[in-house]
Structure 1
Amino acid sequence: MPREGPLLMDGPVEVELQDGTTTTSDRFRVALCMCRRSRRYPWCDTSHRSRSRG
């Protein structure tokens, strides 16, 4: 079953993107996007919620 929501991690977090660049978050709790719909990828912006479940 595909994951619909974000992956929650304890921060701070550093993520290496496919192009080799890195991005960081120093928040105490970080939500990583798993659906790739986020405009702030790799950080979740709750875009997964807008999909209708039919």
Structure 2
Amino acid sequence: MPNNRGDRPVRVTTGTDGPMLIEGPVEVALPDGGVVRSDRFTVALCLCGRSARYPWCDTSHRRRPPRSGRQRNAQ
């Protein structure tokens, strides 16, 4: 897929307990060999494996504690 941003690199943002955010549009190669595409300006890829819309994040990670066992600081 051509990079329509010129020489500017694609930005990927990672967090500790959420999705990976990628500036779009993107094509994602799936483990089964399939490819899915999103034309959105930013896409959220599921890293927890709980999403019903995998590989896209549907915020399912918010409903359960992190798999790593880390607890967020209560404020």
Paired residue total: 51
Q: Which amino acid aligns with 1:35?
A: C
Alignment match, 2:23: 10
Alignment match, 2:45: 32
Identity score, percent: 65
More strand by share: 1
Structure 1's consecutive aligned runs of 4 or more residues displaced over 2 angstroms after TM superposition are: none
**TM-score of the pair, normalised by structure 1:** 0.88
Deviation at 1:4, TM superposition (A): 1.5
Q: Secondary structure at the match of 2:40?
A: coil
C-alpha RMSD over aligned residues? 1.0
Structure with the larger RCO, 1 or 2 (CA within 8 Å, 6+ apart): 1
Larger radius of gyration: 2
Alignment match, 2:32: 19
Supply the distance in 2 between the matched residues of 1:18 and 1:34 (Cα, whole angstroms): 14
Spell out the pairing of 1:37-48 with structure 2 (5 A cutoff): 37-48=50-61
Supply the distance in 2 between the matched residues of 1:27 and 1:47 (Cα, whole angstroms): 20
**Residue ranges of structure 1 left out of the alignment (5+ in a row):** none
**TM-score of the pair, normalised by structure 2:** 0.64
